[in-house]
């Protein structure tokens, strides 16, 4: 799906051209996994895969929402916003609901959306749906929201309406992304910097495991609770501690006797991972891609053994990648239990890498794996 297809579909559905065409990208995360909700650091970037929206305002309160990718339609009204049985509308309805809760009023809309972010692959198609709609409504109804407001409202929509207690990383990357730059975001203060990535020599290649184990949401929420429990226990030792961001490895070691397993392991992983983001930024500043790759491998080890959010398929992909020439680093990406691995690959080896990985995955899991060499691009905006 591209913007022309979405726009044409809008004309067919509603008999006129859309007022506005919006592009909202998915994201990768180079390193810093499960650190966002621990007030830590992350290093994501927006990518060249996106959800497109064709939208027009209506003069009543109705919502006519068309999901072009799956050929489905939701008809409703702004005055009754309740989770839908179909689920896909919830990502949109959640946005309308959060805007209302924040006191913004506007008319209904006719809308068609669709794109080329594979769903369930951990590239944050849901965040893109939320940020894209928010951007469109903000433009069309002159709501006066700043980019950072879009980020926060999108996260609230996901937390409150969809019921996924995600952190802020995905929405932030989708809104604040820049061409050829990754974002170091401090999830405590929301301060951020951009770091250039060398697109000419290296590429980030995603390998889509094609699986999404049922545990994704429940285990995600469990990890959040385990981290909170860790913080509560650590605060008894160190009253100044409010989040895992405040804890040094030395403090954690000293408090080990008070932390049962697996709480200790979870904290150990998070504190190390935050440190790895710092190191990764230094590596990028020095164009030391070897060091960056090594940190990615370490991140995977932690996610696999200490945070325990990986799965057989992802471990296989990372182990295979390690054996390939041209590969500098690899790890699972996103929440875990499926989705993609992210691989840092020398550009000249990208094709060979993809072929070998596909073959190996087919042989072991019988799955025709999709690979995506992504480039890092701009955040949400109008389509020219």
**In the complex, what is the shortest distance from the CB of residue 256 to ligand GLA, in angstroms, rounded to a whole number?**
25
Provide the minimum distance between the beta carbon of 37 and ligand GLA in the complex, in angstroms, as a whole number: 6
- For ligand GLA, which stretch binds (CB under 6 A), given 30-38, 190-198, 237-245, 321-329? 30-38
Site for ligand GLA in 127-186 (CB under 6 A): 166-167, 169-170
The Cα 94–Cα 84 span in angstroms is 10
| Stretch of 6-14, 33-41, 135-143, 249-257 contacting ligand GLA, by CB under 6 A | 33-41
Q: With H, G, I as helix, E, B as strand and everything else as coil, classify residue 38.
A: helix
- Of 31-39, 45-53, 141-149, 207-215, the segment contacting ligand GLA by CB under 6 A is 31-39
Rounded to the nearest whole angstrom, what is the least distance from the CB of residue 156 to ligand GLA in the complex?
Answer: 13
Closest CA to 75 of 310, 102, 361, 60: 60
Q: Which is nearer to ligand GLA, 335 or 338 (CB)?
A: 335
Residues that bind ligand GLA (rule: CB under 6 A) add up to a total of 10
Residues in the chain: 384
> Which candidate in 72, 170, 351, 368 is catalytic?
170
Give min distance, CB of 339 to ligand GLA, in A: 8
Return left, alpha or beta for 327; rule: phi > 0 is left, psi -120 to 50 is alpha, else beta: beta
306 catalytic residue (yes or no): no
Tell me whether residue 39 or residue 170 sits nearer to ligand GLA (CB atom).
170
Cα–Cα distance, 182 to 193 (Å, whole number): 8
Q: Is 110 in the site for ligand GLA (CB under 6 A)?
A: no
By CB atoms closer than 10 A (0-12, 13-18, 19+), residue 139 is middle
Name the strand (E) or helix (H) holding 123. none
For the bound state, the minimum distance from the C-beta of residue 3 to ligand GLA, rounded and expressed in Å, comes to: 25
- 334: contact with ligand GLA by CB under 6 A: yes
The 8-class DSSP code of residue 108 comes to -
Q: Which is nearer to ligand GLA, 41 or 344 (CB)?
A: 41
Footprint on residues 41-70 left by ligand GLA (CB under 6 A): none
> What is the closest distance, in whole angstroms, from the C-beta atom of residue 286 to ligand GLA in the complex?
25
Judged by CB, which is closer to ligand GLA: 115, or 336?
A: 336
Residue whose tokens read 């701009």: 378
Beta carbon nearer to ligand GLA, 110 or 273: 273
User: Is there a contact between 210 and 370 (Cβ–Cβ < 8 Å)?
Assistant: yes
Q: Which of 18, 115, 335, 338 binds ligand GLA (CB under 6 A)?
A: 335
List all residues 6 or more positions away from 18 whose beta carbon is below 8 Å from its beta carbon: 7, 10, 11, 54, 55, 56, 110, 112
Q: How many CA atoms lie within 13 A of 14 on its CB side?
A: 24
Tell me the two tokens of residue 234. 């650590």
Q: How far is CA 278 from CA 41, 172, 342, in A?
A: 8, 18, 19
Residue closer to ligand GLA (CB basis): 302 or 334 = 334
* Residue 207 neighbours by CB under 8 Å, 6+ apart: 317, 321, 340, 341, 343, 357, 361, 369, 371
The pair phi, psi for residue 63, each rounded to 5°, is: -120, 120
Could you list the residues that contact ligand GLA (CB under 6 A)? 33-34, 36-37, 166-167, 169-170, 334-335
- Give catalytic residue positions: 170
């Amino acid at each position: 799906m591209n913007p022309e297809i979405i726009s044409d579909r809008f004309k067919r559905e509603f008999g006129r051209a859309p007022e506005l065409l919006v592009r909202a990208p998915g994201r990768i995360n180079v390193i810093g996994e499960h650190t966002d909700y621990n007030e830590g650091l992350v290093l994501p970037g927006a990518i060249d895969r996106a959800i497109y929206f064709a939208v027009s305002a209506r003069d009543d309160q109705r919502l006519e929402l068309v999901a072009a990718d799956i050929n489905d339609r939701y008809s409703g009204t702004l005055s009754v916003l309740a989770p839908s049985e179909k689920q896909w509308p919830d990502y949109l309805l959640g946005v309308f609901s959060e805007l209302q809760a924040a006191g913004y009023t506007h008319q209904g809309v006719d809308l068609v959306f669709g794109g080329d972010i594979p769903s369930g692959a951990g590239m944050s198609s849901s965040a893109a749906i939320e940020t894209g709609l928010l951007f469109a409504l903000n433009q069309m109804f002159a709501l006066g929201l700043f980019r950072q407001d879009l980020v926060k409202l999108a996260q609230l929509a996901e937390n409150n309406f969809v019921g996924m207690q995600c952190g802020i990383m995905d929405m932030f990357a989708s809104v604040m992304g820049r061409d050829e730059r990754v974002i170091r975001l401090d999830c405590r203060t929301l301060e951020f910097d951009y770091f250039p990535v060398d697109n000419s020599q290296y590429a980030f290649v995603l390998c889509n495991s094609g699986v999404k184990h049922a545990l994704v949401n429940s285990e995600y929420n469990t990890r959040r609770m385990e981290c909170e429990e860790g913080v509560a226990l650590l605060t008894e030792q160190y009253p100044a501690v409010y989040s895992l961001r405040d804890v040094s490895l030395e403090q954690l070691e000293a408090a080990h006797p008070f932390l049962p397993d697996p709480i200790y392991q979870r904290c150990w992983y998070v504190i190390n991972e935050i440190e790895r983001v710092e190191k990764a930024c230094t590596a990028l500043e020095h164009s030391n891609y070897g060091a960056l790759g090594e940190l990615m491998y370490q991140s995977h080890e932690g996610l696999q053994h200490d945070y325990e959010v990986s799965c057989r398929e992802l471990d296989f992909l990372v182990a295979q990648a390690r054996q390939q020439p041209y590969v500098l680093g690899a790890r699972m990406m996103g929440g875990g239990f499926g989705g993609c691995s992210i691989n840092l690959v020398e550009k000249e080896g990208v094709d060979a890498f993809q072929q070998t990985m596909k073959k190996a995955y087919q042989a072991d899991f019988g799955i025709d794996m999709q690979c995506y060499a992504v480039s890092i691009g701009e955040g949400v905006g109008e389509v020219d």
